[in-house]
Structure 1
Amino acid sequence: MSRRILVVGDVMTDIIVKPDGPMVMGSDRAASIRNRPGGSGANQAVWLGAAGADVMFAARVGADERAMYENYFRGLGVVPALAGDRELPSGVLVTILDPSGERSFLTDRGANLNLCADDLPPTLLDGVGMVMVSGYSFFAPGPRKAVQGLLASARERGVAIAIDPASIGFLAEVGPRHFRDWVGTADWLFANESEAEMLTGEAEFERQIELLGQQFGHVVIKRGRFGAALGGRDGIAVSQPAPVVQVVDTTGAGDAFAAGFMAALMRGEAHERCLAAGIERGARAVQFVGGQPS
């Protein structure tokens, strides 16, 4: 099997806001405000590049920023397959951090909303062993149709498929049944505890793995400071704790985890080592501001 990973997802500019104290409605509050490159798919691709994986990233950006983004991704070990949009600018995400490092988001997906079948031709699968798709690509009709077409081609070719639900807020809006129907069967699912509970209606994570394992060959549940677990329809196969680290910003931690896991998997490592690699990358990601490795 080829070791190249094709990532499909959003490109965003993250505007990260860390207020010095509680927000004051109708008035000012001093804050630290920073711009960082982001987007769930972009984060995964860059973390994969940092892990030494052979990775291609397909997405849609504003036409006037396409060349800049292509150079950016190439510089981080990612092969870009970017379409330029002449109607909408690149996406922007405002992240508001609370003192614990937890986040709230305001999202303008911009050009990502116009991702279409022409942006994801079957030829992108040439030499690819795994397709990783961010759940954001399923939440709007145009990108959803384009991604479903690519996944159909992947299944015909025997290319493995990995899905990350990506957003508990959007999952709640569309409903878990719709999302699972849109995604179809896949080899891997990477979900956090909230997403797994939303998708199954179950609070206990071993039961979540069993139920999700009926649709996905392998289920990985990211449990934050409690580590992560891997299993399938027969329950938990591997569970590992996370190291204790100082949490600065949880943005992109799940993307870093998925990338660390998949990079190890494509190197042929055992699932226990893949889980450990994912946990290590996720723990590293929460120790600095932004969703991509510095």
Structure 2
Amino acid sequence: MTSSAAKPRVLVIGDVMTDVIVRPEGPIVLGSDRRAKIELHPGGSASNQAAWFAHFGLPVALSARVGQDDVAHQEGQLRAAGVTPLLSGDATRVTGMLINIIAPNGERSFLTDRGANENLSASDLPLSLLAGLDLVHVSGYALFAPGPRAAVMSFMAVARSRGITVTVDPGSVGFLEEVGPDNFLGWTRDAAVLFPNADEAACLSGRSDPTAQIHFLVQRYGLVVVKRGAEGAEAATPAVRLRAAAPAVEAIDTTGAGDAFLAAFLTARLENAAIDVCLKRGVEAGADATTRLGGRPGKG
């Protein structure tokens, strides 16, 4: 994807969130109390992905929107993670917040307030950002509201016209169902690579069989990489389909596992590694990410 001897440059577009991680000691008692451990962590799919790109050694910037009063704090957290922050402050909305309820098996459920992310606009994505880039990666969350979607789609189209690789992670099966899979497929037509998880692949393809899902999606994207959790992952082009098993680990929190997988896969891809190598690095990174709390590296 890049022939340069220098390290590739990546721009991630999407969201900044504050994650409220809740680990109940047992089933939630409706109308009453349940003891739980509660922690605050930096989050947001795009922010996590950017942090993992930096963790794997790539120069990476993040374009996103946060509450005006929170700009300095969020910039500091991103810089500490090795990410160049390109944040705009929003005067009308606060930084997005997500409540992450973790089940005993490590699976998570989300309650989401998108906050300032809903106001991402063209002014946050000047075309000057494209200079010198090898990759534009878009979190699907940036496509679920009309304003951000228009800005991001325009930016994606220009990036592709300049020969810059564009990749997309759908982000949320709940939001995909809300906006409609056919719409999302149209919005992401400029993407060269799509990274759905198993539920998102089923939603976007309208098919339950993994082979049928792959067949449907590879007709629309040059490369499709499906994250299947504990079952590993697979990658396919019109000519090849490869699978990789996930390493066995004791999962604590699956938040950010897909983000780690994606960043590891694309880092290897940008280093011109073969797809099977990209998959191997991806599943290893994703599995490792589940062994710590939070969605970014360095937690645990």
* TM-score bracket relative to the smaller structure: over 0.9
Q: 1:149: how far off?
A: 1.1
CA distance in 2, matches of 1:83, 1:263: 27
In structure 2, give the amino acid aligned to 1:267. E
TM-score calculated relative to the size of structure 1 = 0.97
CA distance in 2, matches of 1:247, 1:87: 38
> Which residue, out of 8, 15, 40, partners 2:13?
8
Match of 2:189 in 1: 184
CA contact (8 A) 1:70 1:80 kept: yes
CA distance in 1, matches of 2:91, 2:49: 26
CA distance in 1, matches of 2:79, 2:131: 19
> Which residue, out of 21, 24, 30, partners 2:26?
21
Q: 1:231: how far off?
A: 0.5
In structure 1, give the amino acid aligned to 2:41. R
Alpha-carbon deviations, 1:121-161, whole Å to 9, x = none?
A: 11111111111101101100011011011101102111111
Match of 2:251 in 1: 247
- Specify the SS of the correspondent of 2:161: helix
What's the Cα RMSD here?
Answer: 1.1
In structure 1, give the amino acid aligned to 2:293. V
Match of 1:221 in 2: 226
CA contact (8 A) 1:113 1:143 kept: yes
Mapping of residues 141-180 of structure 1, within 5 Å = 141-180=146-185
Identity of aligned residues (%): 50
Q: 1:206: how far off?
A: 2.2
> Which residue, out of 256, 259, 262, partners 2:263?
259
Deviation above 6 Å: which 4+ runs of structure 1?
Answer: none
CA contact (8 A) 2:156 2:190 kept: no
- Specify the SS of the correspondent of 1:186: coil
In structure 1, give the amino acid aligned to 2:36. A
In structure 2, give the amino acid aligned to 1:243. P
> Which residue, out of 210, 214, 236, partners 1:209?
214
Alpha-carbon deviations, 1:226-251, whole Å to 9, x = none?
A: 11111123451x21111110011111
Q: 1:260: how far off?
A: 0.7
In structure 2, give the amino acid aligned to 1:102. E
Matched, 1:51 2:56: yes
CA distance in 1, matches of 2:199, 2:271: 30
CA distance in 2, matches of 1:71, 1:35: 16
Q: 1:272: how far off?
A: 1.4
CA contact (8 A) 1:207 1:235 kept: no
> Which residue, out of 282, 293, 297, partners 1:278?
282
In structure 1, give the amino acid aligned to 2:185. R
CA contact (8 A) 1:40 1:255 kept: yes
In structure 1, give the amino acid aligned to 2:85. P
- Specify the SS of the correspondent of 1:191: coil
| Greater share of strand | 1
- Specify the SS of the correspondent of 1:194: helix
CA distance in 1, matches of 2:141, 2:194: 14
CA distance in 1, matches of 2:191, 2:222: 7
Mapping of residues 23-102 of structure 1, within 5 Å = 23-102=28-107
Matched, 1:107 2:112: yes
- Specify the SS of the correspondent of 1:128: coil
CA distance in 2, matches of 1:235, 1:280: 21
In structure 2, give the amino acid aligned to 1:262. L
CA distance in 1, matches of 2:75, 2:130: 19
CA distance in 1, matches of 2:143, 2:82: 26
- Specify the SS of the correspondent of 1:113: helix
Which runs of 5 or more structure 1 residues have no equivalent in the other structure? none
Residue 253 to residue 73, structure 1, CA distance change in 2 (3 Å): same
TM-score calculated relative to the size of structure 2 = 0.95
CA distance in 1, matches of 2:116, 2:143: 15
